[in-house]
């Protein structure tokens, strides 16, 4: 019943970029860039450069072979000479094949190494983006961008780039054959380079537009998947399909415009290269007629010119992949620069559950206008606090602050005296039980889910958490009990079942701080009773428990209540006192200053 190892999500500060956390963040390398990560593979790049040099020298085999055949074999009619140079050329071509294969495989390994280094960081950024709400379609998805860069590095375009520095070698060989042939080669290379620059100018803007609309289409699709039941029941599917279709069509049109422009220039580049080779043959023929060159020079010059222009022509043909990789590289670089490696931290001892908020002012990431102001309270181990308030009063924002997902704009949130940013995000998460409003159970088995996919989880701890949440009997009734698989292809759970299992996950390993956001939203009467019992037992074990709700039935097992209205704390004290005051004022929370705030040092 062992579950797979899976890291917990990193946390994002309010108004700042998401934090990477731990060793995975450090994998971004010094300076937090793709280039810095690739720097660790510099030996691989030097190897590719060396192989490319040897490969390009070996590519002179063809012109030299033709030169020998036309100028030596045909004139001497010597079959032994032909056999000798033929065997030599065969050996050189085999050597070229092995070296070209080797450099391609080295680049493939470099690309795989880059993904191994940056994938954990990109994964954490994707998780942080899901609750930060500050990213747009234009920002791209880090994992997708990393995949684009990896595929580019493992493709043919980088090999062509390693061949470009050897273009002067071929031009020099042409000049050695005859200065006019060298001049034709230089002019041809300049023309092809201009065509490459023109390709970039004509395709870059449409490709950015296509990426933006493509990202928007993916966002619509993701939202539709999450809200599939609602949009189907409300008859919204046609409207959502039209919305998705409009973004998709815009992306396709932009891609078509970019592809058409690139294809026109690529076709022109190929045609020009063929024309130039024919022109070199014609010029060689003129030189032969004037007795300034031999027939071998005429043939060898055409082959050499084609090889000189081949890398540039190949890059033009691959420009769509080049531009996509460049845009993905830039987006990924921008994200990595904001996702600097976690600073070194002292490993703090396991907290006891002393939580305090002082002068807290908070807003969602990227928002400057506060949605919470003047929050002040403290909890000791074993305390239970119910947070009540109408919708949009800032209760869920307060929950995210207490578990370290967001940071306050002002004030402090402390656990056992340490602000939450003093904790390593992954280590902090092990000491917190959190049940968010929107319950999602990561794939794997029920056991894996409850144990938070911890590699060292024991069956005893998993069952203890399930029993504490009142979910043990519920789980045993599932098709395969604790080994029932969740996610795609797994068991379909009701909202109440998901919430009960998520509560067991929050209670796993007896965390000293437990924050439950609308924990009974999908529970029936039996579920409410099990929730109340779970909160009571958690408090008895010494955990500080915070229950955020707008249903008074959820706070049966707490001893204190905090009232939030319009983002402000309007009352905090013993449950009986606060609730009595609310009843006396016709269930309307008192205005700020009417009820004295109870503070605990």
Q: Which of 9-18, 197-206, 239-248 has the lowest mean pLDDT?
A: 9-18
Per-residue pLDDT tens over the stretch 414-468: 999 999 888 888 888 889 999 988 888 887 889 998 998 888 889 999 999 999 9
Q: Say if CB 170 and CB 287 are below 8 A apart.
A: no
Q: Say if CB 99 and CB 51 are below 8 A apart.
A: yes
Residue 50 has a pLDDT of: 94
CA separation for the pair 523, 530 (Å, rounded): 9
Per-residue tokens: 66:
């033709």
CA separation for the pair 80, 62 (Å, rounded): 19
Per-residue tokens: 237:
């599917």
Per-residue tokens: 314:
């190949």
Residues 6+ apart with CB under 8 A from 341: 20, 25, 26, 28, 32
What does DSSP say about strands 410-415 and 418-419: parallel, antiparallel, or unpaired? antiparallel
Residue 32 has a pLDDT of: 62
Structure confidence at residue 591 as a pLDDT band (50, 70, 90): very low
pLDDT at 542 over 80: yes
Cβ neighbours, 10 Å, residue 10: 26
Residue 340 has a pLDDT of: 58
Residue 8 has a pLDDT of: 34
Residue 585 has a pLDDT of: 67
Q: What is the percent of the chain where pLDDT is above 90?
A: 26
Per-residue tokens: 287:
């030189």
Q: Which of 49-58, 178-187, 330-339, 476-485 has the lowest mean pLDDT?
A: 330-339
Residues 6+ apart with CB under 8 A from 46: none
Structure confidence at residue 598 as a pLDDT band (50, 70, 90): very low
Q: Tokens 């600073």 — which residue?
A: 343
DSSP letter at 551 equals -
Q: Say if CB 558 and CB 385 are below 8 A apart.
A: yes
The DSSP line for 451-498 is: TTT-TT--HHHHHHHHHHTT-HHHHHTSTTGGG-EESTTSPPPPHHHH
Per-residue tokens: 141:
């998805």
Residue 94 has a pLDDT of: 96
Which residue, among 280, 258, 266, 264, has the nearest Cα to 313 in the 3D structure? 266
CA separation for the pair 148, 142 (Å, rounded): 10
Give the residue-averaged pLDDT of 40-68.
91
3-state secondary structure of 23: helix
Which residue, among 5, 9, 3, has the nearest Cα to 426 in the 3D structure? 9
What does DSSP say about strands 384-388 and 544-549: parallel, antiparallel, or unpaired? parallel
Cβ neighbours, 10 Å, residue 76: 11
Residue 341 has a pLDDT of: 56
Per-residue pLDDT tens over the stretch 305-348: 888 888 888 887 788 888 888 888 888 888 887 765 566 778 88
CA separation for the pair 547, 532 (Å, rounded): 10
Per-residue tokens: 318:
């691959």
DSSP letter at 291 equals T
DSSP letter at 561 equals E
CA separation for the pair 446, 462 (Å, rounded): 9
Q: Tokens 């606090």 — which residue?
A: 385
pLDDT at 593 over 50: no
pLDDT at 130 over 80: no
CA separation for the pair 353, 545 (Å, rounded): 9
Identify the burial level of 70 via C-beta atoms within 10 angstroms of its C-beta, where 0-12 means exposed, 13-18 middle and 19 or more buried. Answer: middle
Residues facing residue 356 across a β-bridge: 378, 414
Give the residue-averaged pLDDT of 466-495.
83
Q: Which domains does the chain have, with CATH numbers?
A: 24-338 (1.20.1560.10), 381-394+424-584 (3.40.50.300)
CA separation for the pair 393, 396 (Å, rounded): 8
DSSP letter at 69 equals I
User: What DSSP element (H or E) covers 385?
Assistant: strand 384-388
Q: Say if CB 550 and CB 391 are below 8 A apart.
A: yes
Q: Say if CB 551 and CB 523 are below 8 A apart.
A: no
pLDDT at 41 over 80: yes
CA separation for the pair 437, 395 (Å, rounded): 11
Q: In the chain, count of helices (H) and strands (E)?
A: 22, 12
**Predicted TM-score (pTM) of this structure:** 0.71
CA separation for the pair 38, 40 (Å, rounded): 5
């Amino acid at each position: 019943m062992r579950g797979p190892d899976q890291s917990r999500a990193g946390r994002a500060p309010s108004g700042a970029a998401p934090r990477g956390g731990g060793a995975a963040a450090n994998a971004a390398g010094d300076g937090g860039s793709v280039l810095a990560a690739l720097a660790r593979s510099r030996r691989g790049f030097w190897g590719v450069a060396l192989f490319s040099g040897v490969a390009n020298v070996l590519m002179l085999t063809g012109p030299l072979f033709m030169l020998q055949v036309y100028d030596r074999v045909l004139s001497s009619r010597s079959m032994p000479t032909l056999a000798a140079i033929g065997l030599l050329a065969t050996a050189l071509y085999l050597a070229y094949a092995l070296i070209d294969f080797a450099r391609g495989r080295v680049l493939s390994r470099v690309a795989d190494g880059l993904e191994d280094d940056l994938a954990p960081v990109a994964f954490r950024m994707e998780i942080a983006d899901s609750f930060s709400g500050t990213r747009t379609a234009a920002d791209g998805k880090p994992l997708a961008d990393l995949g684009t860069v990896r595929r580019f590095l493992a493709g043919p375009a980088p090999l062509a780039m390693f061949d470009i520095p050897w273009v002067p070698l071929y031009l020099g060989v042409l000049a050695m054959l005859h200065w006019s042939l060298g001049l034709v080669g230089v002019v041809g290379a300049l023309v092809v380079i201009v065509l490459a620059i023109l390709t970039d100018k004509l395709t870059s803007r449409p490709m950015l537009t296509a990426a933006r609309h493509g990202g928007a289409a993916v966002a619509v699709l993701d939202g539709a998947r999450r809200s599939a039941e609602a949009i189907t029941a409300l008859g919204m599917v046609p409207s959502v399909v039209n919305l998705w279709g409009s973004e998709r069509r815009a992306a396709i049109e932009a891609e078509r415009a970019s592809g058409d422009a690139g294809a026109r220039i690529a076709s022109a580049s190929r045609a020009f290269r063929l024309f130039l080779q024919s022109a070199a043959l014609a010029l060689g023929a003129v030189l032969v007629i004037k007795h300034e060159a031999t027939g071998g020079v005429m043939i060898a010059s055409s082959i050499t010119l084609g090889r000189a222009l081949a890398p540039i022509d190949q890059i033009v043909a691959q420009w769509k992949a080049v531009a996509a990789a460049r845009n993905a590289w830039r987006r990924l670089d921008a994200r990595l620069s904001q996702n600097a490696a976690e600073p070194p931290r002292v490993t703090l001892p396991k907290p006891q559950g002393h939580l305090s908020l002082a002068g807290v002012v908070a807003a969602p990431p990227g928002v400057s206008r506060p949605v919470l102001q003047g929050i002040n309270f403290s909890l000791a181990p074993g305390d239970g606090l119910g947070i009540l308030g109408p919708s949009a009063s800032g209760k869920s924002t307060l929950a995210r602050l207490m578990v370290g997902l967001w940071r306050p704009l002002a004030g402090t949130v402390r656990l056992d005296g340490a602000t939450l940013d003093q904790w390593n995000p992954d280590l902090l998460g092990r000491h917190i039980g959190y049940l968010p409003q929107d319950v999602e159970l990561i794939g794997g088995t029920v056991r894996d889910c409850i144990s938070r996919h911890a590699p060292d989880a024991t069956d005893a701890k998993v069952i203890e958490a399930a029993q504490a949440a009142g979910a043990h009997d519920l789980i045993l009734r599932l098709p395969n009990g604790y080994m029932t698989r969740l996610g795609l292809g797994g068991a379909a759970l009701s909202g109440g079942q998901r919430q009960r299992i998520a509560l067991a996950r929050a209670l796993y390993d007896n965390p000293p701080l437990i924050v439950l956001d609308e924990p009974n939203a999908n529970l029936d009467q039996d579920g409410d009773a099990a929730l109340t019992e779970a909160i009571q037992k958690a408090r008895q074990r010494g955990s500080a428990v915070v229950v955020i709700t707008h249903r008074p039935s959820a706070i049966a097992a707490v001893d204190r209540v905090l009232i939030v209205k319009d983002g402000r704390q309007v009352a905090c004290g013993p449950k009986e006192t606060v609730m009595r005051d609310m009843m006396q004022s016709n269930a309307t929370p008192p205005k700020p200053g009417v009820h004295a705030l109870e503070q605990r040092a």
